[in-house]
Amino acid sequence: MAEVIRMPLLSDTMTEGVIAEWLKKVGDTVKSGDILAEVETDKATMELENYADGTLLYVAAEKGQAIAVNGVLAVVGQPGEDYQALLNGGAAPKAEAAPEVKEEKAPEAPAAPAPAAAKPAVDLSTVKATAIRMPLLSDTMTEGVIANWVKKVGDKVKNGDILAEVETDKATMELENYEDGTLLYIGVEAGAAAKVNQIIAIVGEEGANFQAILDAENGVAAPAAAEPAAAPAASPAASGNGQAIADADGRVKASPLAKSIAKDKGINLSDVTGSGENGRIVKRDLDSFTPKPAAAPAASAPAAAPAPVAAPVAVPAPAGEFEDLPVSQMRKTIARRLAESLYTAPHFYLTMEITMDKAIQLRTQLNEVASAKISFNDFTIKAAALALKQHPAVNASWLGDKIRRYHYINIGVAVAVEDGLVVPVVRNADQKTLSTISTEVKDYAGKAKNKKLQPKDMEGSTFSISNLGMFGIEEFNPIINSPDSCILAVGGIKKTVAVNDAGEFYATNIMKVTLACDHRSVDGATGAAFLQTFKQLLEDPMRMLV
């Protein structure tokens, strides 16, 4: 049965997508996980994965043309299949074709096994209902958690109604409905996770046979599983101890989504057999993948004895009461991204002491006339932005085969929230006043605590700042917020005793900062020069106002 591929919502501000490039053409055989096209959104150019096996029967737009979100993008089905009714959005023309479907079953039954004959019987053209799938709400999202269902089964819904709140790896966002009708089915309960493109609900006419949609969805994987079984005798080796197909450079072929899932699950892609085009690993391969290391001890009798001993060691008995907490999407992302940054980017750290006496005096004077109360954190953001302007090599990213230096300065400001950490971005910070920076940071902090930050608020940083001074921390070593090359850790201001040139003791206020640098793109002397400029600006803060 032909299936419509619609333009997905690839960002929270996206209203349409432009076809940057078609990677498949009409008539090509496609499988779930194949990349159909590259789609240019309002934020980035992203790959569009196919999620139905068959032949590409129709494309709705040529390269360079735009399609509205949820508009028909393509149709995938069987060769020669009539898909026109799907484009017209009506099911009436298919009603007359129902007897023909019955007549076609007879010749198919003897030629194919019984399970295969059952699948063509699912005629979705007569089902007046539409599946609502988990959309891709951010560029790093692989699954979403249903935080709350706003509608329940049986409710009347219209296009634009909010069906649910979805927790992604970056924020909690509202899921809009795009079909008029009745909410017939909810496939994921509140608190449970759903993979991107997984069916989470069905909307349609009351009494519509929505089970047919679910049956068709579950049946997509069946042919893929049956084909390898019917393949030549070499296929059992692949299913038992398969290995991914690598290209000439030794890289394993896998879709971006598959790579992300493999990282989250700790799966070695070289152990997975790809069922996509040219052996490419796709999402379904990881969903069905079962690690095989346990089979090796079973093969030899002597090795079977240690196996029971390993189990108690892996899960030690608790010494007292404990609580296992589920890991939120945000915490999963923090764990994955910080681990990638720490183990991929060679960090080095530069620490410097800064005298804050003049900054303290100026802050007191400014807060008497400023429209918004200015904090020392606002001073550090402004000073860092101006220092970056003088040291553009620090305002950069390592991209593997090139270093990208940005001609704009966007400062990411780490904000602690209940579930972890978010980094909203103050854009063009070098061009903004201290009062404007203060207002923006306070607004972001409020949104973060209320879970109202949008992905666009946290994208595009070129440099980051993490301030733990308000917690009494004097200094710490931060982890770089990739793809930035540097992050500045700011400690608290501490009153101490210093000695002047005449040998006299006097009280002063010292603040320690630590700059973490990615040594691939920033050298020690470059980072040190940046810190010297940063120090000069804070020790003589009037320079930031002129």
The predicted pLDDT at position 509 comes to: 96
The predicted pLDDT at position 278 comes to: 66
R_g of the chain, CA atoms, integer Å: 29
Q: Which two tokens stand for residue 21?
A: 């490039």
CATH match for 129-218 among 3.90.850.10, 3.30.920.30, 3.30.365.10, 2.40.50.100: 2.40.50.100
Q: Which two tokens stand for residue 203?
A: 């909307």
CB contact set of 133 (below 8 Å; sequence gap of 6+): 197, 198, 199, 200
Is the Cβ–Cβ distance between 166 and 136 less than 8 Å? no
315 secondary structure, DSSP code: S
Q: Compute CA 433 distance to the chain's CA centroid, rounded to the nearest angstrom.
A: 33
Rounded (to 5) percent helix, strand, coil in the chain: 35, 25, 40
Pairing of strands 505-518, 486-499: antiparallel
Domain 344-544 listed as CATH 2.40.50.140: no
Is the Cβ–Cβ distance between 395 and 409 less than 8 Å? yes
Q: Following DSSP, what letter does each residue of 68-116 receive, concatenated?
A: ETTSEEEEEESTT---HHHHHT--GGGTTTHHHHHHHHHHHHHHS-HHH
Question: Which residues are marked as active site?
Answer: 519, 523
Place of tokens 């009062």: 435
DSSP-assigned beta bridge partners for residue 176: 162
The predicted pLDDT at position 246 comes to: 58
Phi-psi region of 110 (alpha: psi -120 to 50; beta: other; left: phi over 0): alpha
The predicted pLDDT at position 239 comes to: 40
Rounded distance between C-alpha atoms, residue 459 and residue 481, angstroms: 11
**What are the domain boundaries of the chain?**
3-86, 129-218, 344-544
The predicted pLDDT at position 243 comes to: 54
The predicted pLDDT at position 372 comes to: 84
DSSP-assigned beta bridge partners for residue 494: 510
Rounded distance between C-alpha atoms, residue 73 and residue 197, angstroms: 15
The predicted pLDDT at position 348 comes to: 96
Domain 3-86 listed as CATH 2.40.50.100: yes
**129-218 shares its CATH topology with 344-544:** no
pLDDT per residue, tens digit, the chain (546 aa), is 678 888 887 655 677 888 988 999 999 998 877 888 888 876 567 778 777 778 999 998 888 888 888 788 888 888 888 888 777 654 433 333 333 433 444 444 444 444 434 444 456 667 788 888 888 776 567 888 898 899 999 999 988 788 998 887 767 778 888 788 899 999 998 888 888 888 999 998 888 888 888 888 876 443 443 444 443 433 333 343 445 555 555 567 777 667 767 777 778 888 888 877 667 787 777 777 777 644 444 444 444 444 444 444 456 677 888 888 888 777 888 888 899 999 999 999 999 999 999 999 999 999 998 888 999 999 999 999 999 999 999 999 999 889 999 999 999 999 988 878 889 999 999 999 999 999 999 999 998 888 788 888 888 999 999 999 999 999 999 999 999 999 999 999 999 999 988 889 999 999 999 999 999 999 999 999 999 999 999 999 999 987
Question: Would the CA dihedral through 340, 346, 352, 357 be positive or negative?
Answer: negative
SS3 for 56?
A: strand
